[in-house]
Structure 1
Amino acid sequence: MNLRSKILIGFGATLLLVVVVWVWAIYNLQQLGIASDAILRENYRSILAAENMIDTIERQDSASLLFLLGYHAEGLEQFRRNEAEFLQWLARAKDNITVEGEAAILEEIETEYLAFLTAFSQLRDRESAGGEEAAQTYYLEAVLPLFETVRDRSIALRELNQGAMVAASQRTQQIAGRAVWSTVGVGVIAVLLGLAFSFRLSRILVGPLHEMAAAADRIAEGDYDVELVVDSQDELADLAQRIMTMSYKLKTFHRLNVGQMIAEKRRSEAIIRSITDGVVVVDAEMKIVAVNPGAAHILRFGAHEAIGKHFFDVVENQHLYECMRMALTDERAPQLSDQEALLTLEEDEHVHYYHFDITPVKTESGRMLGVVLLLQDITKLKKLDQLKSEFVATASHELRTPLTGMAMSIGLLDESTQGKLTERESELLQAAQEDVARLRALVNDLLDLSKIESGRMEMEPEAITVDLLVTKALRPFHEQATQQNVALTAQIPDGLPSVQVDPTKIAWVLTNLIANALRYTDAGGEIRITADQAGERVAIAVTDTGAGIPLEYQSKIFDKFVQVKDKRAVGGSGLGLAISREIVNAHGGTIWVDSAPGEGSVFTFTVPAATDRPAEQSTGD
C-alpha cells in the first residue's frame, strides 16, 4: 500500500467519525425542535385565546356598567365590539383543543357566554321599562353572576393549558439532557477513535521521517556512512533508498574534490602572498581569514597569529575598523574621499602613506561573505606630490615679482602712449595686458593651492549665518547676471543654523561656483543658491540651468588644470574647483556635483554647523 492510500484511509476514518457525530447531533436537534413546536402548537395558542377572552369579557362588564350609568350609546358600542372579539378568540380556542378536559371547559364557556349576552339584552329592556333602579337590581342578580362564571371558566382554560405547557417543557428538558449526554458520549468515542487513528498514522509516517532527518544531519556534518531501513513498500521506503544513494554519491564526490579544494585554497593563498600590496580578508564577523606578508608588515602583526582573530584586536586603528564595519553593514564599498581613504603610519621616524580600498565579497545570491582590504603604498607618490607642490610654489613665487613688474611696465606704457600708437599696436598692447593679468591670476591660484595642500594657509573660522555668506558672494554678480539675462536668486530657509567657517575662504568657494555657473548658463536661464541642514552640517548648493557637464568630466572635474572643452571655457586656469575642494576639505566638509548634459548642474558642498556660538549678522552693507 502506498503512502497516499494510508493517509486517505486514516483521514477517511476520522472524517467518518465526524460525520457520525454530526448526524447524531442533527437528530437530537430535530427532536428538540419537535418538542418545542409541540409546546407552541398545543398550549401557547390556547393560553393566548384564554387571556384575550378574559380581557374582552371584563371590558364587556365595564360596558354594562357604563350603560347603567346612563352612557347608553357608548356602553352598547363597547359591548358589541368586545362581543365580536370574544367570539373570535373562542373560535380559535375551539380549533386548538389539545388537552384532555379542554373541550368541556370550552363548551361551558360558550353556554354561559350566550346566557350572558341574553341577560345583557334583558338588562336593556328592564332599564327601558322599569328605570335605572330596576336595571341595577337585574344586573346584580343576573348579569354579574354570568360574567363571573364566564371569566372563571376562561381562567380555568388558561390554567389547564399552562399546566400542560409546564409538563411539555419538562419533557423537552429531559430530551435536551439526553441529547447532550448522548452527543458528548458519541463525541468522546469519536475523539478517542480519531486519536487512535492519528497516533497510528503518525507512527507510520513520522518514524521513518525522523530516521531520515537524523541521516540528513549526519550527511550535513560530513558523515556519509548512513544506512536506513524502512519496513514498508511505500514512498518513504523509496525516499530512504534515494537518500542512501545520495550519501554514496556525495561520499564519492567528496573524495574526488577534497584534493582539488585544498589545491585551490593553497593557490589562492599563494596569490595573496605574491601581491606586493597589503591584503587582508575578513569574514562577516570581522574575523581575519587571510592576510599576506605585505599587510602584516604594514600593520605590524604576525600573519599566522592573526588568522581567526577579530580585526580590531589585531589592527587598533579606529578609522580603518569603522570603514570595514560600514562595508559589512551597508553591503557596499564605502564612499570615501582621497583624504578619508589615506592611512598614515610612522615607522622608524619616517612617515608612510597608504591608500586603502575596501571591497565587499558576496555570493551569487547576495549573501555577505566578508570584505577585502587592499593597502597600497603611496609614500613615494606623496613625496613626489609634495616636491611638485613645493616646486610650483617656488616657481609661482619667483614669477610673481617679474609679472608684477611687467604689469606695471605695460600699464605705464599704455598711459604714456595714449593716442600715439596705431590700431594694431594698441591691440597688441591690450593683448599683452590681458595675458599678464591671466598669468598673474594663474600664479595666485597656484600659490593658494600650494598653501592649502601644504597646510600653510591659515584658516580663521568663526560663526556666521549662511544668509550673510550667500549675500556677500552674490553681490559682485548681480550686474553681470542682469546683462546676461540670467535670474540669480537665493533661497535660504529660516531657522538654518550658523556655520563655523572661514568666511573669506567659503565666500571664495561660492564666488567661484557662481562665476562658473554664469559662464555656462545661457540667456533666460536661472542660477539658484539653496541651503539645508544635514545632521551636524549645513549643505549649500549652487544650481544652474546651463549646459551641464559631460559624463567623462564629472569624475575629474575637481582635479587640477581640468576644464570642460567648451567654447565658453576661455580665460580660466582650471584650478578654481580644485582650490574649492581643498578649502572645503580643510573645513572637514565634502564637495560634489550632480549633472547631466543639457540639463544643468548642481554643485553642493557641506560645512560644519556652529554650536552655541554667536553668529555674525547681516548689516546690509
Structure 2
Amino acid sequence: MLKIEHKAFWTLRKKVIIGYSLVLCLIIAVIIWSLINMVRLGKAAEAILKENYKSILAAENMIDSLERQDSAILLFLLDYPDKAIKQFKENENNFLLWLGRAKDNITIEGEEQIIEGIDNGYIQYLIDFSNLQTIAHSDSAQATELYHQTVLPTFVSIRKECIELREINQNTMFEASNKANNVSNRAFWSVFTIGLASVVVGVGFSFLLAGLIVKPIHQIIAAAKKISEGDYDVEVKSKSHDEIGMMAKDFNQMVQKLKAYRDLNLKQILSEKHKSEAIIGSIDDGLIVINSELKIEDINPAAAKIFDKKPNEIKGYHLLEITKDEKLFNYAKKSFTFEIAVVSEDTEANVLTINKGQSQQHYSYSATPVFAGEESVISMVLLLRDITRLKELDRLKSEFVMAASHELKTPLTSIGMSISLLKEKLINKLDSKESELLNVADEEVLRLKALISDLLDISRIEAGKMPLDFDSITVKLICEKAVSLLKKQADEKNIELSYNVPTDLPNIKADANKITWVLTNLIANSLRYTDANGYIKLSATSVGSQIHISVEDNGSGIPYEYQSRIFDKFVQVKTEKALGGSGLGLAICKEIVRAHGGTIWVDSQPGKGSTFTFTVPVAS
C-alpha cells in the first residue's frame, strides 16, 4: 500500500547545497581578498622599480663617466693629449645623457636640488678642464698644480653629489620594499585567517553532514547483513523526511518484497532441486562431481554402485582414494589445470577397469568443467560410461577374426600351391588370356595371405598374445637396419633415404624386431606416396624419459579428414597414389607402440609431406 508523503522543505540536497554554499562564499571572499592584496603588492613593487630604479641607474652611470673623465685628465697631464681628449669627450656625452634622464625622473623631495648641484658643478668642471688645457700648452707644472687645487676638488664634489643622489633613491627603495613587505604580511595573515575559518566551517559541516548520512546507512548495512544470513524480519528506522529517510523507507519496502518472493519461490526451488536429483539418480551412467582439490562433492547411485558403496559413503573422499586409478586421477587433474576437458590422442586410454571377482568391468570416462560465470572452473563433472559389453564384443570380434583367419590360412595355402603348380606345369599350354587369369589369381591369393597374416598379428597384439622380447638396444641400430631393408627400393625410385641419430642418445627398452617392423612399415608408406627426387629422413630425439623417433617425407601428405582416423583398422587414404594394401599396417604399428608403453601420431600438410612420430621408453 502506497502512502502519500509531503515533501519536507529541508531535503538532503538543499542541506548540502546551503552548507557548501556558505563554505564556497568564504572561499570566494578569500580569493577576492587575496586578489586585492596581490594588486596592492604589485603596485608597491612597481613603484619601487619605476620611481627609483632609473635614478639609481643614472647616478651609477654618471659616477662611472665622471671617473673615466678624471682618468682622461690624468692621461692629458702625462702628455697623452689626443687619447685623453677623446676619452673625455666620449664620457662627457655619456654623463650629460644620464644627467638628462635623472632630471626627467625627479620623484623624491630634495632630489631636484641634488641634480641642480650636479649640473652646476659639472659645468664648472668642464670650465676648469678647459683652463687646464690652455695652461698645459705653456707650463705643464702649473697645469698639474691647477688640477690638484681646482679640477680635483670639483670632481670630488660632483662625485659626492652623485653618490648622494644614488643613496637617496636607494633609501626610498628600501622604504617602498618595507611597505610592500608589510602589505604582504597583512595579506598573508588575513588570507590565512579567512582560509582557516573556511576550513573549520567546511570540516564542521562535513562532520555534521556525514553524521546525517552515515547513521542510516550503517543501519541499512546491518539490515542487509541480516538479510544475507536469511533474516528478513528487519526494519530500518529513520525520522528524517529527506532523501536518506526516503531511501530507508524504500529499503524497508524492498525487504518486504524479498521476503514475499522468497516465500513464494522456496517451494519451487526445492521442487526443482528434487527434480534434478531424481533425473541424475535415474541416469544409468555414473556421474561424479569433484572440486578443485579433487574431492568428491556429489555422486549419483549408478557411480556409487560401480565402487560397491552408497553415495553418502563416498562424498568428501578424495577421487584417487575411491577409484584407485592413477590414469583417471591424472586426467581429472589435467582437466582442472587446463580448465577444459582433456582429449587423449588414444581413444582407448580413458578407460577405468574395475575387478569384480572373476570378471572385469570397463568404463570410459570424460570430464566437463563447471564454470562460475566467467571465472575459473569451480568443479568438474566426470561421466563414467559402461563399455563392458562393447569390450566383450570387441574381444569376441577379435577371437572370430583370429579363428576365421586360421581357418582361411590353410585352404589359401593349398590354393596358392595349386596355382603355383599349374603355372609350372601348364604355362606353355595356356594362351595369353588364360595365363593372365592365372597370374591374377596368384596375386589375389598372395594379397589374401598378407591380409590374413596382418589380421592374425593385430588380433594377437590386441589379445596380448604376441610375445615381446624386450632388450636395451640403440636407436641407431634399428634405424640403420630399417634403412638397409628399403634402400634398394628407394634408389630405384630415386628417393633419398637417410637417418640422423645423435651419438649420445640413450638406449631404448624395446623388442628390436617389432620396432624395426614399425619403422619399415612407415618408410614403405612414405615410399608409396613420395615422388622421384624426394626424400625420406629418419631422426630421433630424447624428451624426458622417452625417445621420439620420426619418419619425415616430402610426399603428397595426408588429407586433413583422414589424419584423425589414419591409425584405425582398414582405413586407407583415397588418393591418386593409393596403391592397395590391407589398411592394417598403421593399426598394427599403433598396437606395437602401445605394447611398448608409447604413443604414435602424425603431422601432415597436404601437398607438402608427412611426419610420423612414435615414442619408446628409455632403457633404465
Change in CA separation of 1:508 and 1:350 when aligned onto 2, cut-off 3 Å: same
Matched, 1:243 2:251: yes
Deviations 1:450-498 (A, max 9, x none): 4543454524454547996899499567446648xxxx79998999977
Counterpart AA for 1:151 = R
Deviations 1:56-100 (A, max 9, x none): 211111222222222222222111111111222222223333333
Please tell me whether the aligned partners of residues 239 and 245 of structure 2 are also in contact (alpha carbons under 8 angstroms).
yes
Counterpart AA for 1:113 = Y
CA distance in 2, matches of 1:26, 1:494: 87
Change in CA separation of 1:41 and 1:436 when aligned onto 2, cut-off 3 Å: same
TM-aligned CA deviation for residue 183 of structure 1:
1.9
CA distance in 2, matches of 1:491, 1:188: 90
Q: 1:557 aligns with which of 547, 550, 566?
A: 566
Matched, 1:226 2:225: no
Counterpart AA for 1:99 = I
Q: 2:106 aligns with which of 81, 97, 112?
A: 97
Sequence identity, in percent? 43
Please tell me whether the aligned partners of residues 479 and 538 of structure 2 are also in contact (alpha carbons under 8 angstroms).
no
Please tell me whether the aligned partners of residues 438 and 571 of structure 1 are also in contact (alpha carbons under 8 angstroms).
no
Matched, 1:115 2:124: yes
Matched, 1:303 2:311: yes
TM-aligned CA deviation for residue 102 of structure 1:
2.6
Partner of 1:129: 138
Change in CA separation of 1:99 and 1:405 when aligned onto 2, cut-off 3 Å: farther
SS at match of 1:355: strand
Matched, 1:359 2:343: no
Partner of 1:434: 443
CA distance in 2, matches of 1:159, 1:280: 103
Counterpart AA for 2:95 = F
TM-aligned CA deviation for residue 425 of structure 1:
3.0
CA distance in 1, matches of 2:326, 2:19: 65
CA distance in 2, matches of 1:512, 1:496: 26
CA distance in 2, matches of 1:14, 1:494: 85
TM-aligned CA deviation for residue 333 of structure 1:
0.8
Matched, 1:15 2:5: no
Change in CA separation of 1:547 and 1:185 when aligned onto 2, cut-off 3 Å: same
Please tell me whether the aligned partners of residues 301 and 314 of structure 1 are also in contact (alpha carbons under 8 angstroms).
no
Partner of 1:166: 174
SS at match of 1:162: helix
Partner of 2:151: 143
Counterpart AA for 1:297 = K
Please tell me whether the aligned partners of residues 280 and 288 of structure 1 are also in contact (alpha carbons under 8 angstroms).
yes
Please tell me whether the aligned partners of residues 590 and 606 of structure 1 are also in contact (alpha carbons under 8 angstroms).
yes
Partner of 1:290: 298
CA distance in 2, matches of 1:439, 1:186: 111
Change in CA separation of 1:74 and 1:464 when aligned onto 2, cut-off 3 Å: farther
Q: Once structures 1 and 2 are overlaid, which stretch shifts more, 51-60 or 516-525?
A: 516-525
Partner of 2:5: none
TM-aligned CA deviation for residue 513 of structure 1:
4.7
CA distance in 2, matches of 1:35, 1:470: 108
Partner of 1:328: 336
TM-aligned CA deviation for residue 280 of structure 1:
1.2
Q: Give ranges in structure 2 of 5+ residues lacking alignment.
A: 1-8
Q: 2:262 aligns with which of 251, 254, 264?
A: 254
Matched, 1:57 2:54: no
Change in CA separation of 1:23 and 1:433 when aligned onto 2, cut-off 3 Å: farther
Change in CA separation of 1:70 and 1:216 when aligned onto 2, cut-off 3 Å: same
TM-aligned CA deviation for residue 189 of structure 1:
0.9
Q: Once structures 1 and 2 are overlaid, which stretch shifts more, 48-57 or 296-305?
A: 296-305
TM-aligned CA deviation for residue 198 of structure 1:
1.8
CA distance in 2, matches of 1:316, 1:115: 127
Please tell me whether the aligned partners of residues 470 and 510 of structure 1 are also in contact (alpha carbons under 8 angstroms).
no
CA distance in 1, matches of 2:424, 2:134: 155
Q: Once structures 1 and 2 are overlaid, which stretch shifts more, 108-117 or 387-396?
A: 387-396
Please tell me whether the aligned partners of residues 269 and 290 of structure 1 are also in contact (alpha carbons under 8 angstroms).
no
TM-aligned CA deviation for residue 394 of structure 1:
5.9
Counterpart AA for 1:231 = K
CA distance in 1, matches of 2:372, 2:238: 38
Please tell me whether the aligned partners of residues 557 and 604 of structure 2 are also in contact (alpha carbons under 8 angstroms).
no
CA distance in 2, matches of 1:97, 1:175: 26
Q: 2:49 aligns with which of 40, 56, 77?
A: 40
Please tell me whether the aligned partners of residues 363 and 386 of structure 2 are also in contact (alpha carbons under 8 angstroms).
yes
Matched, 1:28 2:37: yes
Please tell me whether the aligned partners of residues 283 and 370 of structure 1 are also in contact (alpha carbons under 8 angstroms).
yes
Please tell me whether the aligned partners of residues 498 and 609 of structure 1 are also in contact (alpha carbons under 8 angstroms).
no
CA RMSD of aligned residues (A): 4.1
CA distance in 2, matches of 1:586, 1:21: 92
Deviations 1:280-328 (A, max 9, x none): 1234554433212332233355421333455456555444333223323
Partner of 1:205: 213
Matches within 5 A, 1:459-474: 459-460=470-471, 462=473, 464=475, 472=483
CA distance in 2, matches of 1:489, 1:74: 108
TM-aligned CA deviation for residue 51 of structure 1:
1.9
Please tell me whether the aligned partners of residues 473 and 509 of structure 2 are also in contact (alpha carbons under 8 angstroms).
yes
Counterpart AA for 1:214 = A
Matched, 1:70 2:79: yes
Q: 2:196 aligns with which of 188, 191, 205?
A: 188
Partner of 1:616: none
SS at match of 1:279: strand
TM-aligned CA deviation for residue 104 of structure 1:
2.3
- How many corresponding residue pairs? 605
Counterpart AA for 1:199 = F
Matches within 5 A, 1:479-558: 479=491, 482=494, 500=508, 502=510, 508-509=517-518, 512-513=521-522, 515-516=524-525, 519=528, 538=548, 540=550, 542=552, 546=556, 548-549=558-559, 551=561, 553-558=562-567
TM-aligned CA deviation for residue 576 of structure 1:
2.3
Please tell me whether the aligned partners of residues 327 and 350 of structure 2 are also in contact (alpha carbons under 8 angstroms).
no
SS at match of 2:270: helix
Counterpart AA for 1:268 = S
Partner of 1:618: none
CA distance in 2, matches of 1:52, 1:471: 110
Please tell me whether the aligned partners of residues 597 and 617 of structure 2 are also in contact (alpha carbons under 8 angstroms).
no
CA distance in 2, matches of 1:355, 1:418: 58
Q: Give ranges in structure 1 of 5+ residues lacking alignment.
A: 614-621
TM-aligned CA deviation for residue 151 of structure 1:
1.9
Q: 2:394 aligns with which of 372, 377, 385?
A: 385
Please tell me whether the aligned partners of residues 593 and 601 of structure 1 are also in contact (alpha carbons under 8 angstroms).
no
Change in CA separation of 1:268 and 1:12 when aligned onto 2, cut-off 3 Å: same
Counterpart AA for 2:258 = L
Q: Once structures 1 and 2 are overlaid, which stretch shifts more, 582-591 or 470-479?
A: 470-479
TM-aligned CA deviation for residue 3 of structure 1:
4.7
CA distance in 2, matches of 1:111, 1:493: 116
Partner of 1:280: 288
Q: TM-score, normalised by structure 2?
A: 0.83
